[in-house]
Amino acid sequence: HADVALYHAKDEGRNNFQFYTTSISSKTPEILTLERSLRHALEREEFVVHYQPQVNIDTGKITGMEALLRWEHPDMGLVAPSKFIPLAEESGLIIPIGEWVLRTACRQNKAWQEEGLPAITMAVNLSLKQFRQPGLVETVAKILDETGLEANFLELEITETTAIEDLEFTRTVLQQLEEMGVHLSIDDFGTGHSSLSRLQLLPLHNLKIDGSFIRDLTKDVKVAHIVKAIVGLGRSLGLRLTAEGVEKQEELEFLKSINCEDVQGFLFFRPLSAQKATEILWDEGVKEAVENDAVLL
Ligand code: C2E
Ligand code: MG
Ligand code: MG
Ligand code: MG
């Protein structure tokens, strides 16, 4: 590693030497170890996808799941995405890893449908580099084809920051995905300093309000006003509104009072293993059948 950096440094002069050595030494031994083992994590099958349900506030029913990547490191145990996604992004490994997540999540959703469970959407996160990779649209099409999942049961999430970095590029890619029937969602909304008037140029279905707003909802009346305005404006633009990180009953009450549609948070469910998520969906399916007075098998 250090050799490579020095080589570039010599090539490009003194200032780069400074730059490269600083960037290397700023990485802790733990990060360097993670970086090394990340390269083999996919082939060693150390990744798992967990699923966090999204719940409709009015009906209390699960309308979707968000696929959240987990890395089970052989020595370090479970590594949080906030630790390894940036490394994967930096090294370009996010491309094969992201494709694996997409395939796994689509396959899972199709499997649930084939089991006879009520159809829900599967939301999958795309990082900046994934979104900007050449051939993303083709990859998504290929995976839908392979897994047999209909496009409208897949939702792709890009963050507000990714979306606004090059709005024209974003619009071109999202339009192609929209034409395929894929649903599109803005993640972590409110953190990227953009505005809905710019985002409304995009073919979006869903806006996810960042958890940091929900955390302050009941503590700061200004935040409550902001969230209310986001929900009002978003809904009037025809978007579905999902609140992330809902942990408290009072937060839920407020969100309900301002007509936010969906919530995702520990108050209802934490991210679940595929098996646990399947059980939860079965419980829901049975409840629904009883409510509809259907004949159970
Ligand atoms: P995100 O897409 O905004 O996902 C929501 C995060 O909030 C998840 O963290 C989830 O576990 C957490 N969360 C949900 N409800 C609550 C709550 O009530 N309270 C609190 N405190 N947290 C809650 P997680 O799984 O650690 O993921 C963090 C981020 O890593 C994600 O944020 C997403 O940006 C990224 N990420 C996760 N999986 C993938 C993936 O497959 N691909 C890419 N590119 N990024 C991913
Ligand atoms: Mg997300
Ligand atoms: Mg988010
Ligand atoms: Mg986030």
**Residue having the nearest C-alpha atom to atom 15 of ligand 1:** 265
Ligand 3: distance of its center to the CA of 241 in Å? Answer: 12
End-to-end Cα distance, the chain: 61
Distance CA 225, CA 242 (A): 16
pLDDT confidence of residue 6: 35
**Residue having the nearest C-alpha atom to atom 3 of ligand 1:** 188
pLDDT confidence of residue 11: 40
Mean pLDDT of 274-280: 98
For residues 20 and 278, which has the higher predicted lDDT (pLDDT)? Answer: 278
101 lines ligand 1 (CB under 6 A): yes
What DSSP line would sit under 212-248, residue for residue? HHHHHTTT-HHHHHHHHHHHHHHHHTT-EEEEE----
What band does 294 get if pLDDT is binned at 50, 70 and 90? low
The pTM of the full predicted model, rounded to 2 decimals, is 0.90
187 lines ligand 1 (CB under 6 A): yes
Ligand 4: distance of its center to the CA of 288 in Å? Answer: 31
Residue 53 CB: number of other CB atoms within 10 A? Answer: 24
pLDDT confidence of residue 20: 43
Ligand 3: distance of its center to the CA of 188 in Å? Answer: 4
**184 by DSSP, 3-state: which?**
strand
List pLDDT tens digits, range 134-188.
Answer: 999 999 999 999 999 999 999 999 999 999 999 999 999 999 999 999 999 999 9
List pLDDT tens digits, range 85-129.
Answer: 999 999 999 999 999 999 999 999 999 999 999 999 999 999 999
Ligand 3: distance of its center to the CA of 92 in Å? Answer: 22
**Residue having the nearest C-alpha atom to atom 8 of ligand 1:** 68
Residue 5, pLDDT > 70, answer no
What band does 8 get if pLDDT is binned at 50, 70 and 90? very low
